[in-house]
Amino acid sequence: MKMLSLLRRPLSYKYYNVTLIIIIVNVVFFIFKVLMPVTTTGQLFDMAAGTSVLNQYFALIPESVLRDGYIWQIVTYMFMHGGFFHILINMLILFMFGTQLEREFGSSEFLLYYFTIGIGAGIILTFGYPLLGMSNAVVVGASGAIYGLLLAFATRHPNQPVYIWGILPVKAYMLLIIFTAIELFSQVLNPASGISHLGHLSGLLVGFLYFLVRFGINPIQEIRKNIR
């Protein structure tokens, strides 16, 4: 009980727009990546066929983490992106969900949630891809953490519409269901598609566990209770 009480201890509410800071850091990493020489390394996920040598050190490569001890990659891969549209879409979604969630959670809680999901997903990928025979996979992007934000947003605001392409309104809980189903089927049918479906699913899983352990909330039950 003491451990659970410690895990659920609330953080003091402060707001300092950490979402914008995260976006800026992502953009800085992307600029450095573009300026670096291009090579090709391993099976690429969430990225173009040509990749900066910067990815060799900061993208998540399970083999590098487990064999060479590049444990920082479990964190830094979240700030690496494959191409302009990859980072553009991720940062737009981060801004859309992140700004509202940060105001509700407070910046400290939001930061803890975001990095717990990203790092947790990174750990799952580090051990998961070798089991799938993909130990040299190169994983980049904030997508795992972004999926965790989608889970949080749908849990707190299941009925709020999210506008796909800025036009088509879809309720947040339906969007969560649709994207979860897509990722599950994609991971089973085409795990080496060039998109880290396992990373997206890992973000959802870690986000679910965070709500369960940290907030004492089961997202599935919470959504079912509030949808209309």
Residue-range domain boundaries for the chain:
2-226
Distance CA 122, CA 153 (A): 21
Please, what is the average pLDDT of the chain?
A: 88
Distance CA 115, CA 19 (A): 12
**pLDDT band at residue 209 using 50, 70 and 90 as cut-offs:** very high
CB atoms within 10 A of CB 129: 24
| CATH superfamily ID and name for 2-226 | Rhomboid-like (1.20.1540.10)
Distinct helix (H) and strand (E) counts, the chain: 11, 6
- What is the mean pLDDT of the segment spanning 112-134? 95
**pLDDT band at residue 201 using 50, 70 and 90 as cut-offs:** very high
- What is the mean pLDDT of the segment spanning 126-143? 92
The three-class DSSP label of residue 164 is strand
**pLDDT band at residue 52 using 50, 70 and 90 as cut-offs:** low
Distance CA 137, CA 42 (A): 6
Q: Are 94 and 23 in contact (CB under 8 A)?
A: yes
**pLDDT band at residue 10 using 50, 70 and 90 as cut-offs:** confident
Q: What is the pLDDT of residues 178-190, one digit of tens each?
A: 999 999 998 888 7
> For residue 32, what are the contacts with CB-CB under 8 A and spacing of at least 6?
54
Task: For residue 56, give both structure tokens.
Answer: 């060799």
43 has pLDDT over 50: no
Q: Which residue has the higher pLDDT, 62 or 6?
A: 62
